[in-house]
Structure 1
Amino acid sequence: MKYKVVVVDDHLLIAKAIAAMVQEMKDFEVLYEAENGSVLLQKFKTRENIPDIVLLDISMPIMNGFETAQWLHDHYPGVKILVLSMQDDEASLIRMIKLGAKGYLHKNVHPAELEKALINLIERGMYFPQWATAVFFQTIAGPPPKESSKDEKLSNRELEFLHHVCSELTYKEIADLMCCSPRTVEGYRDALFEKLNIKTRVGLAMYAVKIGIVKVE
């Protein structure tokens, strides 16, 4: 089974080139291209047009990438967004992550990394290259709190889990490293979600950086 991809970009030649690259990948196929978010909305009215992944540009007329990401986040949260844009500034990256993007690449990306990103989105749920990770964590990383509140007291096993969350390991792989079952790891995750009022793995990784569990060079 091939995973379905849609390319959303207002530059026809670029959209065609990206689609051609994806079509060469053994695990993926392109359903169609859309020149902006408005066209994508219309396409989504047909169930067969709903993909697994949307490759999304930011600068587009009528309905840009930010607006499209917001709509997808609100109406189709199961569709993974991989931003593919010329904009690599901090503000665009952070805004897209907040809107639910699971990956962010520059348009000059090598085809091999694009394929790696698509595979990671399917298998691990996200993909951010080193430059994006550095920008993101440097933005949110602040000095560790002097003292955690009572609600934020974490066990040693929860702290160990937080450290692994910042890697590209799957939850099953984390369970193997921690010598426990995947269900136990999910229990650590859910407990941290509740204690820290965090809802995503990215949020847990952000917290891990903030309190100094993971250092950003």
Structure 2
Amino acid sequence: MSTIRVAIADDQSLFRKGMMAIINEFEGVETTIEADNGQRLLDALATAAPLPDVALLDLSMPDLNGVETTKLIRRHYPQLKVIILSVYGEDRFVTHLMDLGVNAYLFKNVEPLEVERAIRAVVEKEFYFNEAFLTAMKNRMLVKKPRRLLTENVVAILTAREKDVLDLICKQMTATEIAERLCVSVRTVDGHRTNLLEKTGARNTAGLVLFAIKHGLLDPADLL
């Protein structure tokens, strides 16, 4: 397996250096870019060859914060996976960032093992949802009632096979695993995923899971 390249942007030098030291201890993972704000990260990405696979972003950075950096990464480097590291845990804030195309959201007090798990998950499966995020989604559903499964608009948007693929995506299965389960080719699964992205307006696989939760196709409690 090839080495996973990681970029990190955080204006707190001690935290950034400490995180780099931790990441470089993970087998097959190394930090290739470090920056103290989003703009410097983007400047580094512009000349990086090859690009990193994952970017870890702090939210509160000078010049260009994590939210604006995420938007620009999604626009110019859609293949780059984004993991937010933050001290903020407001439910609405967490889910808003996932809507923007973040692949994972971690609090800064998580254990190193969870950071490693998240990095590997976003590379392999494109998203990582931990208990904190899923709890935030469940709390949001209690405030704002989601649409039911068999509403007219959802039925009109998705085919039965697309729902099957979406369900397996939500179960964190890879394209290869989904293909084996449905007895189809990986290319066919990728085609269904592309159609799902276009129909739902999701930015990535994490967005598809959000769509499923918001429209009553998935109860976040099932993933806890």
Q: Which category of TM-score, normalised to the shorter sequence, fits these structures? A: 0.7 to 0.9
The superposition leaves residues 124-170 of structure 1 with CA deviations (integer Å, 9 ceiling, x where unpaired) of: 11112122133235536613166414971655433332321211111
Calculate the TM-score normalised by the size of structure 2: 0.83
Q: Check conservation: 2:165, 2:189, Cα contact below 8 A.
A: yes
Offset of residue 5 of structure 1: 1.0
Matched with 2:147 is: 143
Structure 2 counterpart of 1:133: 134
C-alpha contact (below 8 Å) 1:138/1:216 kept by paired residues: no
Match of 1:7 in 2: 8
Closer/same/farther in 2, CA of residues 101 and 208 from structure 1, 3 Å limit: closer
Matched, 1:46 2:50: no
Which deviates the most, 21-30 or 72-81? 72-81
Range that drifts further, 14-23 or 77-86: 77-86
**SS of 1:5 mapped into structure 2:** strand
What is the number of equivalent residue pairs in this alignment?
Answer: 217
The one-letter amino acid paired with 2:19 is: I
1:171·1:185 contact (CA, 8 Å) conserved in 2?
yes
1:92 match: 93
Candidates 185, 188, 194, aligned match of 2:189: 185
Take 1:100 and 1:174, find their aligned partners in 2: how far apart are those partners?
22
CA distance in 2, matches of 1:132, 1:41: 27
- Alignment check: 8 A CA contact 1:4 1:29 kept: yes
The residue aligned with 2:206 is 202
Q: CA deviation at 1:21?
A: 0.3
After superposition, the Cα gap between the structure-2 partners of 1:2 and 1:93, relative to the gap in structure 1 and judged at 3 Å, is same
1-structure distance, mates of 2:168, 2:58: 31
2:66 partner letter:
G
Q: Does residue 1:35 correspond to 2:60, yes or no? A: no
Output the amino acid matched with 2:57: L
Counterpart of 1:116?
A: 117
2:170 corresponds, among 163, 166, 179, to 166
Distance (Å, rounded) in 2 between the aligned partners of 1:188 and 1:64: 34
Q: Which runs of 5+ in 1 are unaligned?
A: none
The match for 1:157 is 161
CA 46–209 in structure 1, closer or farther in 2 if over 3 Å, else same: closer
Counterpart AA for 2:217: I
In 1, the alpha carbon distance for the partners of 2:154 and 2:62 equals 49
Gaps of 5+ in 2: none
Following the alignment from structure 2 to structure 1, what is the Cα–Cα distance between the partners of residues 105 and 163?
A: 28
Larger radius of gyration: 1
CA RMSD of aligned residues (A): 2.6
Residues 195 and 117 of structure 1, relative CA distance in 2, 3 Å threshold = closer
Aligned mates of 1:119, 1:145 — CA distance in 2: 32
Q: For residues 114 and 150 of structure 1, do their structure 2 counterparts lie closer, same or farther at Cα, with a shift above 3 Å needed?
A: closer
TM-score, structure 1 as length reference: 0.86
Matched residue of 1:62: which SS? coil
2:20 corresponds to 1:19:
yes
Change (3 A) 1:62 1:196: closer
The answer to whether residue 89 in structure 2 is matched with residue 82 in structure 1 is no
